[in-house]
Amino acid sequence: MASNVNPTVRRRRLGQELRRLREVKGMTAEEVAERLLVSQSKISRLENGRRSISQRDVRDLCGVYEVEDQRVVESLMEMARDSRQQGWWHAFGDIPYSVYIGLETDAESLRVYEPQIITGLLQTRSYAEALIQGALPETSAADIDKRVQVRMRRQERIAAENSPLRLWVVLDEAALRRVVGNNLVMREQLEHLAEMSQLPHVTVQVLPFGVGAHPGLNGQYAILEFADAADSSVVYLEGVTSDLYLEKAHDVQKYAVMYEHLRAQALNVDQSRQFITDTAKEYAR
């Protein structure tokens, strides 16, 4: 059973439980770090699931928190053991956004706003190749191929027969107008996008230029939600050298409200599909 556990999500759940134990004990992360002779940043990274947690870490923390129920300790130790397994994406080597892939793999639904490009889960292979080549001009051909393979593998969540990912995408018109690759690549990409938008669990809306200023002008973001109530929603903000994950309830709520405004200002589903189809025909000409 452990082999089926998503290590990223299991690490995150374990971190949340360790944070809860610390707060019940009434201790700050600084106090715990001082007791264990480690840095405060290590405690924070263990609690937010950004760092691998060893069984020794769990044992030491349970000792500080005076957890007397051995069943609780053993359960946490098992979670630590499972969290150190490798997800499918590790077979591709060093992937800069592996934490996000782990969350996306286990998410029940995903809401994405993209101001510049077609979102990765709906990209064609040709579009993905041209996009990565353009965005990362110093990347080797082998690394580009690896990134494309990972992107195609991620898309299996959309096609899954059982519990496919519920995907909602709001695309700025700029994503349709920006020529990635060439006109043929764009035509095929938009035709694919229109086709995918007809799946019952995929919703695509276009935010036309005519809308003017809107809440998404600050850039791309994604909201991941999970089936298990123990897993809080996450807002993902992609960066050039590092990414940001927001999990506090008020942060998630703020981005969720922004997303509702974007949905309201965008074309409806049928209008969006027609807009995408018409734009694809323009590339064909």
Tokens in use for 110?
Answer: 């995903």
CATH architecture of 2-85: Orthogonal Bundle (1.10)
Q: In 3-state terms, what secondary structure has residue 100? A: helix
Domain with CATH 3.30.870 in the chain: 89-284
CA-CA distance, 166 to 155, in Å (whole number)? 12
CA-CA distance, 170 to 219, in Å (whole number)? 12
Tokens in use for 126?
Answer: 């040709």
Name the phi and psi angles at 70, rounded to 5: -65, -25
Cα R_g (the chain), whole angstroms: 21
Long-range contact pairs involving 260-265 (C-beta distance under 8 Å, separation at least 24): 261/214, 261/215, 262/113, 262/170, 262/207, 262/214, 262/215, 262/216, 263/168, 263/170, 263/205, 265/207, 265/211, 265/214
Query: In the Cβ-directed half-sphere of 1, how many Cα atoms lie within 13 Å?
Result: 3
CA-CA distance, 163 to 17, in Å (whole number)? 27
Contacts of 242 (CB under 8 A, 6+ apart): none
Reference 77, options 63, 65, 52, 59; nearest CA is 59
- Compute how many other C-beta atoms are within 10 angstroms of the C-beta atom of residue 134: 12
pLDDT at 55: 86
CA-CA distance, 274 to 124, in Å (whole number)? 19
pLDDT at 167: 97
pLDDT at 229: 67
Domain 89-284 has CATH 3.30.460: no
- What is the pLDDT tens value at each position of the chain, 285 positions in all? 333 456 677 777 788 888 888 988 899 988 988 988 888 888 888 887 767 788 888 888 999 888 888 888 888 888 887 766 667 766 776 777 777 888 888 889 999 999 999 999 999 999 999 999 999 998 899 999 999 999 999 999 998 888 899 999 999 999 999 999 999 999 999 999 999 999 999 999 999 999 999 999 999 999 999 887 667 888 999 887 778 888 888 999 999 999 999 999 999 999 999 999 999 999 998
Residue with tokens 């993905």: 128
- DSSP type of residue 234: E
Q: CA angle, 68 as apex, 65 and 71 as ends, to 5°? A: 110
Domain with CATH 1.10.260.40 in the chain: 2-85
| CB 109, CB 166: distance < 8 Å | yes
Classify the C-alpha dihedral 22-23-29-35 as positive or negative: negative
Contacts of 71 (CB under 8 A, 6+ apart): none
Reference 9, options 105, 116, 127, 141; nearest CA is 105
pLDDT at 125: 97
Q: In 3-state terms, what secondary structure has residue 244? A: strand
CA-CA distance, 252 to 246, in Å (whole number)? 7
pLDDT at 67: 87
Name the phi and psi angles at 102, rounded to 5: -60, -40
Q: How many residues in the chain?
A: 285
Residue with tokens 């323009």: 282
Tokens in use for 69?
Answer: 């129920």
Q: In 3-state terms, what secondary structure has residue 213? A: coil
